[in-house]
Amino acid sequence: MRILVLGSGAREHALAWKLGQEPAVDYLVCAPGNAGMQSGVAPLDPLDTDAVVRFVRRDRIDLTVVGPEAPLGRGLADRLQAEGLRVFGPTKAAAQLETSKAFAKDFMQRHAVPTARYRVCGSADEAIAAIRSGEFGDALVVKADGLAAGKGVVVAPDRATAESAVRSAMVDRSFGDAGARVVLEELLQGPEVSFFVIADGENYVPLLSAQDHKRIFDNDEGPNTGGMGAFSPSPLMTAALQEQIERDIVQPVLRGMAGEGTPFRGFLYCGLMLTADGPKVIEFNVRFGDPEAQVVLPLLVEPLAPLLLAASEARLSGSGLRAPEPGSRRASVGVVLAAHGYPGDPRSGDVITGLADVARDCPDVLVFHAGVKARGADLVTAGGRVLTVVATAPSFEIAIARAYEAAGKIRFEGMQYRRDIGAKALSID
Ligand code: AMP
Ligand code: GLY
């Protein structure tokens, strides 16, 4: 099988690493990829649909796996399908589960999927009146409807903060058209867990759970980021809880999407809050998480390519494939090394050293590359999140120690990373 992975981050590096070692895969290319990837890369813009189609034909690609949400939101999967080409990732209509929070909330309401109480507002006046009415209490959550690069959500401790979030999104248009509508939500309490499945439009295979660390500083302080590290599986995810999530969330979502004529095919990322009233959906993503993919994929003992291919052909059921399971209760911890300035304007061009030491001295450690580029013989920083250092081990304690030992060997000017990735897993364990 010849596979194209679209995207350029550590998530795509992890996908390429996993797929590239599987017997069914005899050719793998990542586009545009990055300079740190070992497998082949090709200069191709995933948002340039015509160029992707030409590349897939010319390179005789059997399956295109789409990493990020933006090309899916623009209809790349629709186009590839229309051309008779296999793609793993949802259509534009199905991708609305991520690209429109208003769509996702209304959809969940239609299908009785547990989520926070909400109101969709089409104008700032309407939103401010709803905030002042107190229907969500004093603390509430304000979300720009569309894609806002992870910056569109404000958890407001009081009404004044909520009102200024509404003005920023709807009047100042800080996120462009993504703020044409906002969703107001009740504030939920509880630990956050992500759960992933591979869906073929009707059937699905569960992957593992994970927990992300979104804030830049230890103890979940400071501004939000794309994710500073993750661990998998979440010790909170018992068999009973997983069964409940599949029954009350995953299955009604897939049935509902199919029933509405927009079957969901791809990675379904369920961002959940475990509240006193049970698990509730905070958000859906229509692709794998970053950095969650980097910690989940190294735990999968079964090959991924046959699953993705079966899903792309809507034949996950009856394929005889079973859900991948982690080996003897292995734990995975991934620490993101970020550039100077992140999550604001990251600085480029800082020389990265120590990668060869990690490769030589750290067994069971993988380094997935994201914001890196080549300069002469060096790799230098070229983006906010630069590397994800992942360790797998028989316990979280050992995985944490291994990940940080490896991270300590890597250096670049201005390097920032959290020292507490995985600590939550220990406190739960
Ligand atoms: P999102 O971009 O939708 O993932 O939201 C970003 C973060 O905001 C989430 O990871 C949660 O920590 C928080 N959040 C979103 N919605 C809620 C809610 N209804 N209650 C509490 N926290 C929330
Ligand atoms: N780590 C969060 C995300 O991928 O959206």
Distance 280 CA to ligand 1 centre (A): 11
Q: What is the pLDDT of residue 329?
A: 56
Give 73's contacts (C-beta < 8 A, 6+ positions apart): 92, 95, 98, 99, 147
- Nearest ligand 2 atom, CA 288: 4
Distance 289 CA to ligand 2 centre (A): 4
Q: Where are the beta strands (DSSP E) in 157-254?
A: 182-186, 192-200, 204-212, 215-217, 221-224, 229-232
Distance 387 CA to ligand 1 centre (A): 25
- Nearest ligand 2 atom, CA 212: 1
Mutate to test the pocket of ligand 1, among 69, 136, 155 (most ligand atoms within 8 A of CB): 155
Q: What is the pLDDT of residue 428?
A: 67
DSSP codes, 342-353: TTSSPPP-PEEB
Q: What is the pLDDT of residue 266?
A: 98
Crossing angle of helices 159-166 and 124-133, rounded to 10°: 170
Distance 185 CA to ligand 1 centre (A): 9
Q: Are 69 and 147 in contact (CB under 8 A)?
A: yes
Distance 285 CA to ligand 2 centre (A): 8
Over the chain (429 residues), the average pLDDT of each successive run of 10 is 98 97 96 90 96 98 97 98 98 97 97 97 92 93 87 90 92 87 95 96 94 95 93 95 97 98 98 97 97 96 93 82 61 97 96 97 96 95 97 94 98 98 86
Q: Is 352 left (phi over 0), alpha (psi -120 to 50) or beta?
A: beta
Q: Are 227 and 290 in contact (CB under 8 A)?
A: yes
CA atoms within 13 A on the CB side of 172: 9
Q: Which amino acid is at 230?
A: A
DSSP codes, 252-310: HHHHHHHHTT---EEEEEEEEEEETTEEEEEEEESS--TTHHHHHGGG--S-SHHHHHH
Sort strands 2-7 and 63-66 into parallel, antiparallel or unpaired.
parallel
- Nearest ligand 1 atom, CA 150: 2
CA atoms within 13 A on the CB side of 295: 37
User: Which of 368, 373, 349 lies closest to 407 in space, CA to CA?
Assistant: 368
Q: Which domains does the chain have, with CATH numbers?
A: 2-91 (3.40.50.20), 117-186 (3.30.1490.20), 192-312 (3.30.470.20), 331-428 (3.90.600.10)
What pLDDT, in 10s, does the model give residues 193-221?
999 999 999 999 999 999 999 999 999 99
In angstroms, how far is the first alpha carbon of the chain from the final one?
40
Q: What is the pLDDT of residue 320?
A: 60
Q: How many Å apart are CA 253 and CA 247, to the nearest integer?
A: 10
Pocket of ligand 2 (CB under 6 A): 212, 227, 285, 289-290, 292
Which ligand sits closest to the CA of 227? 2
Distance 154 CA to ligand 1 centre (A): 8
Mutate to test the pocket of ligand 1, among 69, 103, 153 (most ligand atoms within 8 A of CB): 153
Q: What is the pLDDT of residue 224?
A: 87
- Nearest ligand 2 atom, CA 150: 5
